[in-house]
Amino acid sequence: MKNITRHTGKLLNIQRMKHSLNGNPRFSAIVDNQIFVTAVDSSYGYSIQNFEDKLVTVTIGSHYGRTTLDSIQLVKA
C-alpha cells in the first residue's frame, strides 16, 4: 500500500459492495470527505459496520489505484 494518510472524523455513508471471489463482504465509506473501500478478503469487511456514525481515526492508502482502508480505530472522547 502506498501514500498512507491518517484522517479523523465521523464514519459516514457505509455502502455494501459486491463480495469478493471468496464470498467475503466489501464496503465503501467516507471519513473526513475521503471515500475509501475495504480491502478484498479483509477482516474490516466484517467489523466496519460497528463504527458507523462514530468518531474514528482511519489510515487509508492507495492499493492498485484504489483508495483502500488500512486501519480503523475508535476515538475515545
Do 40 and 28 contact (CB within 8 A), yes or no?
A: no
> Is the CB of residue 54 less than 8 Å from the CB of residue 74?
yes
Read off the pLDDT of each residue in 33-59 and give the average, rounded to a whole number. Answer: 94
What confidence category does residue 28 fall into, taking pLDDT thresholds of 50, 70 and 90? very high
- Do 75 and 55 contact (CB within 8 A), yes or no? yes
What is the Cα–Cα distance from 73 to 64, expressed in whole angstroms? 24
Rounded distance between C-alpha atoms, residue 66 and residue 70, angstroms:
12
pTM: 0.88
Mean pLDDT, residues 30-36? 94
Contact (Cβ atoms closer than 8 angstroms) between residue 57 and residue 69: no
User: Which CATH architecture describes the domain 2-74?
Assistant: Beta Barrel (2.40)
Write down the pLDDT at residue 1: 83
- Bridge partners (DSSP) listed for residue 45: none
